[in-house]
């Protein structure tokens, strides 16, 4: 039995109307799918498949928690997944994806494997920047990042996204002397 046989929907043999399926995606699912964004998680999927003639409407309700690396400290962090997705499937002569939500499957096969679609729906919920809440990052990594961060004196009012957990540490960093050459460049920029 293949790794993803559980996720095959036998479209050709489905009766008219709506059929419901439930799936639980665990660490083994993410390990088997071997996608770059998510390697671990616990996600529940409720799927309803509505057949109308040769057209199938798949509605996914996806909820759970995945583990992804924090962009700042690289430790794993929990990220809540909650999304609803649609996919429309039609029969044709060969497999093709018409657009983001329409898929053509060969009528001779008469089935679709939704495993990769599930993974993609989950991966698309991950924001471009994903970091722990302020103060929750790995303290050792935060200190190393603070030590090696280059900050100018006028950066004091910018949001540091929790890199500096202690306000006084941030003030100490901004009060350091700057290179006089940078000060001269700043004067040129300010005068324009």
Alpha-carbon Rg for the chain, nearest whole angstrom, is 25
pLDDT 10s per residue in the chain (192 long)? 478 889 999 998 899 999 999 999 999 999 999 888 888 999 999 999 999 988 999 999 999 999 998 888 888 889 999 999 999 999 988 888 888 889 999 888 889 999 999 999 999 999 888 888 777 787 787 777 777 776 644 444 444 444 444 444 444 444 556 778 888 888 888 876
CA distance 62 to 15: 24
Contact (CB, 8 A) for 158 and 149: no
Burial class (CB in 10 A: 0-12, 13-18, 19+), 40: middle
Distance of CA 95 to the CA centre of its chain: 26
CA distance 61 to 75: 28
């Amino acid at each position: 039995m293949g790794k993803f046989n559980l996720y095959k929907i036998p479209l050709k043999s489905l009766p008219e109307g709506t059929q419901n399926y439930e799936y639980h995606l665990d660490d083994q699912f993410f390990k088997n799918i071997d996608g770059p964004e998510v390697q671990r998680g616990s996600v529940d999927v409720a799927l309803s498949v509505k057949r109308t003639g040769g057209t199938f409407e798949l509605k996914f309700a996806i909820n759970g928690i995945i583990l992804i690396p924090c962009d700042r400290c690289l430790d794993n962090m929990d990220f809540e997944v909650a999304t609803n997705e649609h996919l429309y499937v039609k029969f044709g002569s060969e497999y093709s994806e018409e657009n983001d939500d329409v898929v053509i499957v060969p009528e001779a096969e008469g089935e679709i494997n939704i495993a990769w679609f599930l993974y993609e729906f989950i991966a698309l919920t991950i924001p471009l920047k994903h970091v722990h809440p302020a103060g929750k990052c790995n303290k050792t990594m935060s200190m190393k990042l603070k030590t090696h961060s280059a900050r100018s004196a006028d950066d004091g009012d910018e949001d540091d996204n929790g890199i500096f957990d202690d306000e006084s540490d941030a003030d100490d960093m901004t009060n350091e002397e700057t290179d006089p050459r940078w000060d001269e460049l700043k004067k040129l920029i300010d005068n324009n």
